[in-house]
A and B are shown apart, each in its own frame.
Chain A
Amino acid sequence: MSVSKIKKYNNDVLLDVLNLSVTFELKNASVKAVDNISFKIKRGEFLAVVGESGCGKSVSALSILKLLPPKIAKIESTHLIFDGVDISNWTTSQLREIRGKRISMIFQEPMTSLNPVLTIGDQITEPLITHLKLTANEAQNRAIELMSMVGIPEPENRLNQYPHQFSGGMRQRVMIAIGLACEPDLIIADEPTTALDVTIQAQILELLKDISKRLGIAVIMITHNLGVVAAYADNVNVMYAACIIETGSSNDIFKNPSHPYTIGLLRSVPRLDKSREGKLATIYGLPPNLMNPPSGCRFAERCPIYEKQCDNSPALIDNVTSKNAKVACWKTDFAKVTGAKMYASNKKTKKSVPDVNATPILTVNNLKQHFNISLRSGWFTSKSGKVKAVDDVSFSILPGETVGLVGESGCGKTSVGRSILHLNNPTNGDINFQNISMNKDSIALVRRDMQVIFQDPFSSLNPRMTIGKILEEPLIVHKIINDKASRLKRVNELLEQVGLYTYMADRYPHELSGGQRQRVGIARALAMEPKLIICDEPVSALDVSVQAQIINLLEDLQAELGISYLFIAHDLAVVRHISHKVIVMYLGKIMEVADEKSLYSKPQHPYTKALLDAAPVPDPEIEKNRKRTILKGELPSPLNPPPGCVFSTRCPEYTKECSKLTPPLVKFTDEHFVSCIKVKEFNA
C-alpha cells in the first residue's frame, strides 16, 4: 500500500507516536531502552530530543523506521501514525518504500556513514533511482543540483570522488544531500554535528535549518548539546532513562524548566555568555541501570527534592503553567518555586586567584613542533612535507593558575601539550619548568611534578590492571613510597580525594562509568603530587552532568593543593568557566591571549570572534536575536598553510596586506595580546 493513495485525515500532525517501547533481548537480560514514550511532530516543525548518553534518544529515532537489528530489538507501540497511516505494523519491505523517500536520516559519524568504496555521486543518486525511478542521467543532474544546494563546491567534479577525499564537514553535507534527495516530509538527524568543529557545526546546522524551513520539512534532531537546542529547535523532548520526562516549546524548557532533571541539566552547563558565577551545579550520582530500572520515578535516586510519593511512577501530564508543555514529576509546583536553588546550596565559591607577581611555574618560549610527513614515496623521487603543528608559541603559567588552550581540531593544541611533556621532542624552543630548562636529560627530573590527564578515560587506562594497581604503579616507578602497606593507604587516600570509594581499588576500568574512569585518571595524576597538570580534553567524552562533576573536582583540587592546569579543550564555555587565562590557537599559531573576562567580552581577533559566534548558547531568547556571521570554508591543509596570516583565507576582515606579512602577537591591553594587523583599526 502506498502512503500517498490513502486519504490524509490530519494534515497538521505529520508523525504521531503513541506508547512506543523498544526492548533489547540480550542473551541473559532484557533492556528496555525506550519505555512507553509518546510524542507528535507537525509538518515543518523542528523538534529536538535531548538527553544524556544511554537515555534512549537514538534508539527511539531508529525504531520509527525499524532500523534496529530485528533479532534483538523488539519494537512495540499502540500506534505510529505517519501522515495519516499507521505504520507500526509495517514490515521492513513496506517501510523500505518510505525510507529515504518520505522519512530520511542523517547520522552522527560522517566518517563511517558513507560507503568507502562507492563514489559520492553513486551514493547520492541511489535513492533517486530507487524511489523516483529517475534515469541515471537525470539522477546525476539532480545530484549536482543537491550538492550545490548543500554547499559542496565544484559538484560536477566531486561527483566522481570517494568519501575519503572529503573532509568531515563535507561528508556531513553529502549525508544531508542524500537525506534531501527525494524531498522527504521528515528528516531524523541523530547527533549530526557532534563529531564536527564548532565553526563547521554552525555551517551544517544553519544549512539544515534553512533548507528544512524552505522546503517545509519537519526535523527531529537528537542531540546532547543544549546550546544547539536553544538555537534551532521549536519544541523539545527531554529524555531520561528511557522515558520522556518533560516536553514543551524551547522557550518553556529553557525559561521555565519544571522537572528537577531538566533544571539540573541546564544548571550544570557552563555558560559562554556569562562569567563564572560559582561552581557548577551537579546532579548527584549516575542514571539508573536499565536492566533493572527503579519502579517509581526514575530520577528519584538523584533528585534533590525526593519524597516518599516519588516511589510511584509519575505520568507525563500537562504542565499547569505553560501551554502545551508536559512534565512527569509529582512535585512540579515545588520544583518551580525552588527552581535553581535546588542545586545551588552553598556552592557559591569563588575561583581561586593566582598570585600575579609569582614566578611562572612553566614558561614556554618560541616552541616549535614540526613533523616531517612523507607525501609520496617513489623509486628515485620521494616527496616529504612539513607540518608545522606548533609554530612559534610562547606563554607562561603561574602557580595555581589555569590556562585554557582552545581551537578547532588540527590547530595544534594537543601538540603543545605533548611537547611540554616531551612526549614529542620539540623541534625548537625553550620550555622552562620550575626554573629548569627541559631537555632529554632533565625530563626525568621534572616529570614527577608534571602530570597529564587524557581525553578518553577508557582507552587511557590499562584494561588488565585494577584501579588500585593503576594508582600504585607511579608510586613504585618513582620510588615515592617503598613499603606496600603505606602505598595502599596512599591509594585509598587518592581515591577519596577524587570522590571515589576505596572498595573500587579492586575493580577493573570497564566496571566503572566514564565519569568514574576520568576520576581515576585524575587520581593517577595526583599520585605524584604534581605542580602542573596538563588536561587534554578531560571532559569532552563525558555527559553534561558528569562533566560538571569533573570540572568542580578540578577546581576543588586547585583551591586545595595550588596546582596549575594547562586546560586543552575545544568547548569554549567550559574553558571560560575554568580558566584564568585563555589562549586561542589556529593552525599552530597563537591568535589571541587574554584573561578570561576580556577575551570573552571583548574578543579582538576575527577568529576568536567567529568561534564565539559559532557556539550556540543555551538560551532561546538570546539565540533568536543573535545574528551569526558564519565562518566560510574549512581549515586549510597544515602542509600548505596560507602565506602571511594563517587565518587570512577564512577571515571576514581580509585585505591584501594580510597575505603579505605574518602578524606578530601585539599588546592590546596589559593582559591582552592579539595577532592581527588590524586590531588597532577595529578599535579606532
Chain B
Amino acid sequence: MLKYAFNRILLMIPTLIAVAIIVFLVLRVVPGDIVELKLTAEGGEVSMEQIEAEKKRLGLNDPLHIQFYNYMIGIPQGDLGISLWTEKPVAEEIGSRIGLSFQLAIFSTILAVLLAFPLGTLSALFRGTFLDYVIRIITIGGIAVPAFWLGMLLIMLVLSFGKLPPLGTVSFFVDPLTNFNQMIWPAISVGYRYTSVVARMLRSSILEVLSEDYIRTARAKGLYERVVIVKHGMRNALLPTVTVIGLEFAFLLGGLVVTESVFNLNGIGKLFIDSVIRNDLNLLQGLVLTVATAFVLVNLIVDLCYAALDPRIRYQS
C-alpha cells in the first residue's frame, strides 16, 4: 500500500512538468500585448520607444529559450515570476486568494457528499417509486441548471428576505459564523450540480451492485438486509462514485471562475478573468499550474481511496 502511494506520488512529477511546458508554449502563441494595454490604460499617447523600453524592463524581449529557462528554473523554487500588471510576485497574488477559492471548493464538496449519499441511496433502494422520481427530477435539474444562474437566483432570494450577508469576506478562522453565512450561498450554487452528479452516479452503481451474484450470496446467508446493503453493497458501489467525486472537484475549480464573479468573491476565479483580460502571461501561467496541481492532487487522493476500498488494486502493486 505504501509503495503504491509512493509510486502514485512520483508519477505526479512528469505530469506537472508536461503541464508547465504546454502552458508556457500555448500562451506564447496567443496574440495580444500586455505592455500596450497597460500603458494605454494610463491614458495619453504612448510612443513605440516607451513600449519597447517597458518590454525590455519586464523581460519580454528576451529570447524564448531564456524566458523558458527562467520560468522552469523558478517553478521548483516556488518562484512563478512577477505579475506583469501589478508587478507583485505571482505566488503572492495567487496565495492571497487561493484560500478563499479552496474554502469554497471544500465547502461545496462537503455539502455535495452530505446530500448526495442519502439522495442516491434512497433513490436506488426505492427505485421506481414516487420518492425515486422526485429525487431524479431534483438531480436532473442540478445538471441542467448553470451554477451562475442559480447563484443569481440565490442572491435575489437572500435579498428578498432582507438578510444581506456583510460584504468583504471574513476569514473562517476569524469569524466562522459570518464566514459561513457568506460562503453558504455560493457553495450551494456550485454544490447543486456536484450533488446531482454524485447522487445519480451513486444511484446507478448501487443498482448495479445490488444485482451482483455476491449480493444474492449475502442474502442467502441470512444476513440482515441492512448489512447486505451497507456492508456488501455500499463499499462496492463507492468505487465508481469516488471517481466522480474527484472529477467533479476538478471541474468545480474551473467553474468557480463564473460563480466568484456572481458573488463578487475575490478568489482565484476572479484573478483568472482579470489575468486573461489583461494578457498577464506570467500570472496566467501560475494560475493554470496551480489548478493543474490541484487536479493532480485530487486524482492522487482518488487513487488512494480506490486502493483503500478495493483489495484487488491494493495487491496489484
Please give the residue numbers on chain A whose beta carbons come within 8 Å of chain B beta carbons, in ascending order: 65, 67, 71, 92-93, 96-101, 104-105, 107, 109, 112-119, 126-127, 130-131, 162, 164-165, 175, 178, 378-379
Contact = CB atoms under 8 A, between A and B. Distances in A.
A358 B221 CA distance: 62
Given A162-B312, A165-B315, A112 B223 contact: no
B217 interface: yes
B217 A131 contact: no
A165 B218 CA distance: 20
Interface stretch (B33-41, B109-117, B178-186, B228-236): B228-236
Interface in B234-268: 235-236
B219 interface: yes
Interface residues on B, range: 20 to 34
A379 B10 CA distance: 9
B214 A67 contact: no
B311 interface: yes
Contacts of A178: 217, 221
B311 A117 contact: yes
A470 B231 CA distance: 47
Contacts of A97: 222
B217 A114 contact: yes
A24 to B, nearest CB: 15
Contact of B311 (A98, A164, A378): A164
Nearest to B216: A67
Contacts of B315: 162, 164-165
A258 B10 CA distance: 72
A101 B224 CA distance: 13
Contacts of B220: 65, 67, 99-100, 104-105, 107
Q: Which 5 A-B pairs have the closest CB atoms?
A: A99-B222, A100-B222, A100-B221, A112-B213, A162-B311
A104 B231 contact: no
Nearest to A131: B222
28 contacts: A67-B220, A71-B128, A92-B225, A93-B225, A96-B224, A96-B225, A100-B220, A105-B220, A107-B216, A112-B212, A112-B213, A112-B214, A113-B216, A114-B217, A115-B232, A116-B214, A116-B236, A116-B310, A118-B231, A119-B311, A126-B218, A126-B221, A127-B221, A127-B223, A130-B221, A162-B312, A162-B315, A379-B10
Nearest to B215: A115
Contact of A130 (B10, B212, B224, B236): B224
A98 B222 contact: yes
Contacts of A175: 217
B309 interface: yes
A101 B222 contact: yes
Q: Is the interface of B mostly helix, strand, loop or mixed?
A: helix
A217 to B, nearest CB: 16
Interface of B: 7, 10, 128, 212-214, 216-225, 227, 231-232, 235-236, 309-312, 315
B222 A117 contact: no
Nearest to B231: A118
Nearest to B212: A112
A116 B236 CA distance: 8
Contacts of B212: 112
A115 B218 contact: yes
Contacts of B219: 67, 99
A116 B312 CA distance: 8
A566 B218 CA distance: 43
Given A117-B309, A117-B310, A162-B311, A127 B222 contact: yes
B221 A99 contact: yes
Nearest to A96: B222
Contacts of B7: 378-379
A175 B213 CA distance: 12
A80 B108 CA distance: 54
B217 A130 contact: no
A165 B7 CA distance: 23
B244 to A, nearest CB: 18
Given A97-B222, A130-B222, A162-B311, A117 B217 contact: no
A167 to B, nearest CB: 15
B213, B221, B224, B315: most-surrounded residue (chain A CB, <10 A): B221
B128 to A, nearest CB: 8
Nearest to B219: A67
* Most chain B CB inside 10 Å of its own CB: which residue of A100, A117, A127, A165: A117
A674 to B, nearest CB: 41
B1 to A, nearest CB: 14
A115 B231 CA distance: 10
Contacts of A99: 219-222
A113 B222 contact: no
Contacts of B231: 118
Nearest to A108: B213
A105 B227 CA distance: 18
A109 B309 CA distance: 23
Given A117-B236, A119-B311, 8 more contacts: A104-B220, A107-B217, A115-B214, A115-B236, A118-B232, A127-B221, A131-B222, A162-B315
Nearest to A378: B7
Nearest to A102: B222
Contacts of B213: 107, 109, 112-113
Given A67-B216, A107-B213, A109-B213, A116 B221 contact: no
Given A115-B232, A116-B310, A117-B311, A130 B214 contact: no
Contact of A113 (B10, B128, B217, B310): B217
A462 B88 CA distance: 63
Among B7, B222, B311, max chain A CB count under 10 A is at B222
Residue with the greatest number of chain A CB neighbours at <10 A, chosen from B220, B231, B232 = B220
Nearest to B238: A117
A116 B311 CA distance: 8
Contacts of B311: 116-117, 119, 162, 164
A116 B223 CA distance: 17
Nearest to B221: A100
Contacts of A131: 222
Contacts of B224: 96, 130
B214 A113 contact: yes
B214 A114 contact: yes
A98 B10 CA distance: 52
A118 B209 CA distance: 14
B67 to A, nearest CB: 32
B235 A117 contact: yes
Contacts of B235: 117-118
Nearest to B235: A117
A93 B227 CA distance: 13
A97 B223 CA distance: 8
A626 to B, nearest CB: 33
A104 B219 CA distance: 10
A109 B311 CA distance: 20
A97 B222 CA distance: 6
A466 B9 CA distance: 51
A235 to B, nearest CB: 23
Contacts of A109: 213
B216 A130 contact: no
B246 to A, nearest CB: 19
A178 B214 CA distance: 12
Nearest to B310: A117
Interface centre among B212, B217, B227, B235 (most CB of A within 10 A): B217
A99 B227 CA distance: 14
B137 to A, nearest CB: 22
Q: Which of B212, B219, B312 neighbours the largest number of chain A CB atoms within 10 Å of its CB? A: B219
A99 B221 CA distance: 6
